[in-house]
């Protein structure tokens, strides 16, 4: 049986989500076949050093995703293995690429459509709390799942990050994570605000996503800041939610 990974106590990912990811991996590997009982809550608590509330929360998340089913007085049983490209969990600190790769989704490809210094749009300047018409850095990318265009995104970075982005060759080649590059430069995520609404895409975005202009997409706008409150990234993303459904998990327990 494949050993489960341990909990990373230094990670910003909640403990319950780390446990979900570990158990999903065991399901995907076939270590827990469909219909087989999962380890008990007590066994999982001992194996991972977690509280019963945290383990229970992880199992509840998996049940809500249809991965397991709980049978009274018998335990929790595997329902089906997780699909690799099932969704994008937008409340996590990772971006789309990191989330996809963390679920071993090797069918994700990233194409960089354009990048370089640019005058930032007014809304991005306001979100970054800098003066209008400030020059910054623009990064435009297209993500595909199994060759199907799924997500069009534009990242806007403030002037201080222009050298960082300009020298991030692998990011600009679509081979590495922007979030990780920013974190390596000292811009770790302390928080973010994301708004989501359904919109009709512009002509160029519709063409890139290979859809009609009348086809609704989910438009996500996000502003990120460091633990000290410094705003460092604004992005606009248009998602074909029929290709990448969004998932939102809610943690109301306050437990690690």
> Measured in whole angstroms, how far is the alpha carbon of residue 71 from the centre of its chain?
31
- State mean pLDDT over 194-212: 93
Kindly indicate the confidence band of residue 248, based on its pLDDT and cuts at 50, 70 and 90: low
Kindly indicate the confidence band of residue 88, based on its pLDDT and cuts at 50, 70 and 90: low
Quick one: what percent of the chain has pLDDT higher than 70? Answer: 83
Domain locations in the chain as residue ranges: 15-78, 88-247
Would 15-78 and 88-247 be classified into the same CATH topology?
no
Q: Domain 15-78 has what CATH class? A: mainly alpha
Kindly indicate the confidence band of residue 28, based on its pLDDT and cuts at 50, 70 and 90: confident
pLDDT at 72: 80
The pLDDT tens digits for 156-169 are 999 999 999 999 99
Kindly indicate the confidence band of residue 136, based on its pLDDT and cuts at 50, 70 and 90: very high
Query: Cβ(67)–Cβ(24) under 8 Å?
Result: yes
pTM of the model: 0.62
pLDDT at 93: 54
pLDDT at 89: 53
> Which residue's structure tokens are 């699909």?
83
Torsional sign, CA 240, 87, 14, 184: negative
Interstrand relation of 88-89 and 246-247 (parallel, antiparallel or unpaired): parallel
Can you identify the CATH homologous superfamily of domain 88-247? Chorismate lyase-like (3.40.1410.10)
């Amino acid at each position: 049986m494949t050993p489960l990974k341990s909990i990373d106590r230094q990670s910003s990912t909640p403990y319950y989500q780390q446990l979900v990811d570990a158990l999903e991996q065991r399901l995907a590997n076939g270590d827990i076949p469909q219909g087989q009982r999962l380890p008990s809550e007590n066994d999982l608590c001992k194996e991972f050093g977690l509280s019963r509330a945290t383990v229970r929360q992880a199992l509840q998340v998996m049940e809500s995703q249809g991965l397991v089913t709980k049978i009274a007085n018998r335990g929790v049983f595997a329902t089906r293995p997780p699909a690799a490209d099932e969704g994008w969990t937008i409340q996590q600190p990772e971006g789309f690429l990191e989330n996809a790769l963390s679920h071993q989704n090797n069918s994700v490809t990233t194409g960089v459509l354009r990048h370089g210094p640019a005058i930032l749009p007014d809304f991005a300047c306001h979100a970054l709390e800098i003066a209008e018409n400030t020059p910054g850095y623009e990064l435009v990318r297209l993500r595909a799942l199994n060759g199907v265009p799924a997500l069009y995104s534009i990242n806007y970075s403030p002037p201080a990050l222009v050298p960082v982005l300009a020298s991030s060759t692998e990011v600009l080649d679509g081979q590495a994570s922007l979030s990780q590059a920013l974190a390596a430069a000292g811009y770790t995520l302390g928080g973010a605000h994301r708004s989501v609404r359904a919109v009709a895409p512009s002509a160029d975005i519709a063409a890139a996503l290979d859809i009609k202009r009348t086809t609704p997409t989910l438009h996500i706008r996000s502003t990120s800041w460091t633990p000290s409150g410094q705003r460092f990234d604004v992005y606009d993303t248009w998602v074909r939610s029929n290709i990448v459904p969004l998932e939102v998990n809610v943690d109301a327990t306050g437990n690690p």
